[in-house]
Amino acid sequence: MEAILWIGLTLLAIALPLAWPRWRLQRALKKPLPASALAVLARNVPVYRAMVPELQQQLRQLVTQFLHTKKFIGCDGLEVTDEMAVTIAGQACLLLLNRPSKVYSSLHTIMVYPGAFVAARNEVGPGGVVTPGRKTMLGESWDDGRVVLSWDDVQQAAHDWSGSHQVVLHEFAHQLDSESGRANGAPYLGHPGSYSDWSAVLSRDYQNLRLHAMYRQPTVMDHYGATSPAEFFAVATETFFSKPWLMAAYHAELYAEFIKYYRVDPRQWLAAPAPEAVA
């Protein structure tokens, strides 16, 4: 009898620490976001205001889960405020709407710098010679469960949604890309048959962007997307959510692939701009 009791207590001791975080999360999800957080979403995730109520509710639930499962760390003396955390969570969770998700399950930490930060980077030259270097960054996504962001640039994107570099969308697109095993521009699509069209369309548009970048021709997507297939996916994600009308006009097949992947159409949230002569 004592042995059975001891086994039962041991199992309970193991189960309680595992169940406690889930219980806290379920409890949090039952509570509405405070008014201050809703005001941040309306102010710093501009497309939130144009969403139908069902999508707004989805985003609020995703933000709640994000805030309860991720750790924010301020860098270079920055103190991460509630506004910063809600803004980053709100923009990051746009990528998860209408999609089955564990809310970036591999991610545990978001490091936030006041502005652009300098990171060590090795440069590979001719003959494979590696030269240590340093590079100024606005954001970075690591495969060890961390994302690094410049708060100045997160704010800039919030205040100029269609005209600024969307650093949160970019770095969290890398996180989604990594879910397939590594960041290579081919995220997990849910079905093997989906990769044929995805690969054909993205490969073609990636090569076209490389050509336009080489000759410095104006394009809808930032030329940084020509760096690699992974960067192309991240830049295309930014464009999909911040310049949907232009992307749909000049990259119709690519836009259609992203609608299938992200399961939303951001044109429903943003007014159509005046036509532009870009590629």
CA dist 271 and 200 (Å) reads: 30
Please report which residue ranges of 215-250 form alpha helices under DSSP H: 229-242, 244-250
CATH class of 180-279: alpha beta
Taking every pair of Cα atoms in the chain, the longest distance, rounded to a whole number of angstroms, is: 81
pLDDT digits (tens, 9 = 90+) for 107-148: 999 999 999 988 766 555 555 554 565 678 889 999 899 999
Q: Does domain 20-162 have CATH number 1.10.490.10?
A: no
H or E segment to which residue 133 belongs: strand 130-137
Is the Cβ–Cβ distance between 87 and 158 less than 8 Å?
yes
Q: Where are the domains of the chain?
A: 20-162, 180-279
- Tokens 């933000």 correspond to 63
Rg, Å, the chain Cα set: 21
What is the β-pairing status of strands 130-137 and 139-141?
unpaired
Q: Does the predicted TM-score (pTM) go above 0.85? A: yes
Q: How far is residue 2 CA from its own chain's centroid?
A: 52
Kindly indicate the confidence band of residue 9, based on its pLDDT and cuts at 50, 70 and 90: very low
Nearest alpha-carbon partner for 257 in 269, 240, 274, 276: 240
Residue 150 φ then ψ, to 5°: -95, 120
Count other Cβ atoms within 10 Å, centred on residue 140: 18
On average, the pLDDT of the chain sits at: 88
Residue 137, amino acid: M
Q: Name which of 14-18, 150-154, 182-186 the model is least confident about.
A: 14-18
